[in-house]
Amino acid sequence: MGRAMPNHISRRTALGLLGGTAVVAGVPLAHHALAAPSVDEIEILNASYSIIDGTITRGMVSTRPDAPPPVIRMARNTPYLAGVTNRLDDYTTMHWHGLRLANAMDGVPYLTQIPLGRDERYEYELFSPDAGTFWYHPHCMTMDQMALGLTGILIVDEDEDPGFDTDIPLNLRDFRLDGKGAWIDLWTARGAARGGTFGTVMTTNWEIEPAYQAPAGGLVRLRVAATDTTRIYKLFLPDTDAKLIALDGHPLPAPIDMPKTEETALILGPGQRADIAVLMPASEGQDATVFTDAPGAPRLLARLVSTGAAQGRDMAELRPLPPNPVAEPDLANARAEEFVFGWSPEGDLPNNGLCGSLPYTFWSINRTPWAGDAAEGVGPLATFRNGESVILRLRNESPNDHPIHLHGLAFKPIRSNKRTLPPLWTDTVLLQREETIDIAFVADNPGDWAFHCHVIEHQKTGLAGYLRVLDA
């Protein structure tokens, strides 16, 4: 990370730099500092990078001046302190997508914190009861800063090593660049009112069709994160045996064969993740490839190249990932609410915050648009008691797809009017055109939790709101 301070800096020193109080939770710091975890200092800053060969793209946003936002790795059930400093002229916040953490650490402007101006710092105490693949991105000036690069993968490790030979994160996203690597409009009103504005360059870890070495005949854990603001990926691996082992941070009850053709591809909407176990070809130099179907023809996303002596691993050696501790909702006694996602009755609303809402209002939840800026006058869509079981009916009245994301809680899609859904825990469900899906969860994390479409142009033109979970 772009560290302003060495990684071993103590919480005490960090608080000192902030001019913070000398006492944390009633414990004098001199004692507390001994056991306190270190703070990972992260600066949000402008970056340059060669996305298109032979060109340099300037004005990107990352946490390193010359590289993509790095993978952040933390342990389950262990606090991880991230001190985020804004070095941009625009306001920002950081959000940790999919983590069931404390509400004050969720990074949603106005709802959970004040946006950070230039050189302001916020210390996020990340915590996750769940192991798996998550990600991070800003939640203020989101359309700009995400489109310009600020999306990174966050891994929460299992308590015990699940036994892969290697772990390869694939951060999938587009950029809107011309042939010389210069930015074109990051979004268009036409796109925002329809399916979103698509990038011109498809990348994996900011590279076009990268190749990674992996042990021949070995077992690889691919961690695919769809962090694009718009694109829905349709993944398939034509060349080798692979199994889907987790989706959206949560292990599947049993692994599923990964599709080998575009007709059967795994659909991954913006915000979603897939953990895939890949059995590498046994001979050195042979490839396993990851493709997405796309208009025109399938596109190569990444190539894994078999390297070294054959490991002779077998899919049968895969140990099941331990399930995450998500509470089962009581469906028979659950409280039911319905949300309609569709057009907005409002005209163009003024931007009343610092977080860069698009100057249009095209979308709404229950006909109430929220651009995710200033929260005054915007009430929760629903309020739940802590521990209440909930069924939400999500009704898509529009001819577009919407990846609907809920912060701070894990939910289970239980039925659809269009298809059979596998039983999964998730934080983001892709609601297809004119589809209705019921989701269920236990409202067991108190706070105001953002609830929005992850096509950022939809979110920022009204398809957003929040749910409130009371303390008691």
Near Cu ion by CB under 5 A: residue from 82, 458, 464, 467: 458
Instruction: Give the residue with the Cβ less far from ligand C2O, 62 or 151.
Output: 151
Please provide residue 294's backbone torsions phi and psi, each rounded to the nearest 5 degrees: -155, 160
Using an 8 Å Cβ cutoff, are 49 and 56 in contact? yes
> Which ranges in 351-400 belong to alpha helices (H)?
none
Q: How far is CA 458 from the centre of its chain?
A: 16
> Which amino acid appears at position 209 of this protein?
E
Near ligand C2O by CB under 6 A: residue from 11, 95, 412, 458: 95
Q: Report the C-alpha gap between 395 and 188 in whole angstroms.
A: 26
**Nearest residue by C-beta to ligand C2O?**
97
Q: Report the C-alpha gap between 82 and 382 in whole angstroms.
A: 31
Using an 8 Å Cβ cutoff, are 384 and 470 in contact? yes
Q: Report the candidate in 98, 214, 212, 87 with the shortest Cα–Cα distance to residue 154.
A: 98
Which option in ligand C2O, Cu ion, none does residue 139 bind, with CB closer than 5 to 8 A by kind?
ligand C2O
Q: Report the C-alpha gap between 41 and 213 in whole angstroms.
A: 30
**Least separation, in Å, of the C-beta of 64 and ligand C2O?**
21
Please list, residue by residue across 351-389, b when 16 or more beta carbons sit within 10 angstroms of its beta carbon and e when fewer do: eebbbbbbebbbbbbeeebbbbbbbeebebbbebeeebb
Near ligand C2O by CB under 6 A: residue from 220, 450, 453, 469: 450
Instruction: Give the residue with the Cβ less far from ligand C2O, 106 or 388.
Output: 106
List Cβ neighbours of 467 (8 Å cut-off, separation of 6 or more).
380, 381, 382, 383, 384, 406, 443, 448, 449, 451
* Site residues (CB under 5 A) for Cu ion, limited to 384-423: 402, 407
Using an 8 Å Cβ cutoff, are 403 and 428 in contact? yes
Binding mask 50-89 for ligand C2O (x = CB under 6 A): ----------------------------------------
Q: What H or E segment, with its residue span, contains residue 136? A: strand 132-138
Which option in ligand C2O, Cu ion, none does residue 412 bind, with CB closer than 5 to 8 A by kind?
none
Q: Rule CB under 6 A: say whether 173 interacts with ligand C2O.
A: no
Q: Report the candidate in 260, 220, 258 with the shortest Cα–Cα distance to residue 238.
A: 260
**Least separation, in Å, of the C-beta of 310 and ligand C2O?**
40
Which option in ligand C2O, Cu ion, none does residue 271 bind, with CB closer than 5 to 8 A by kind?
ligand C2O
Near ligand C2O by CB under 6 A: residue from 452, 458, 461, 469: 452
Instruction: Give the residue with the Cβ less far from ligand C2O, 141 or 277.
Output: 141
Near ligand C2O by CB under 6 A: residue from 11, 100, 137, 402: 137
Which option in Cu ion, ligand C2O, none does residue 455 bind, with CB closer than 5 to 8 A by kind?
Cu ion
Q: Rule CB under 6 A: say whether 139 interacts with ligand C2O.
A: yes
Q: Report the C-alpha gap between 299 and 302 in whole angstroms.
A: 9
Instruction: Give the residue with the Cβ less far from ligand C2O, 9 or 44.
Output: 44
DSSP letter assigned to residue 323: P
* Site residues (CB under 5 A) for Cu ion, limited to 428-457: 453, 455
Binding stretches for Cu ion (CB under 5 A): 97, 402, 407, 453, 455, 458
Binding stretches for ligand C2O (CB under 6 A): 95, 97, 137, 139, 271, 405, 407, 450, 452, 454
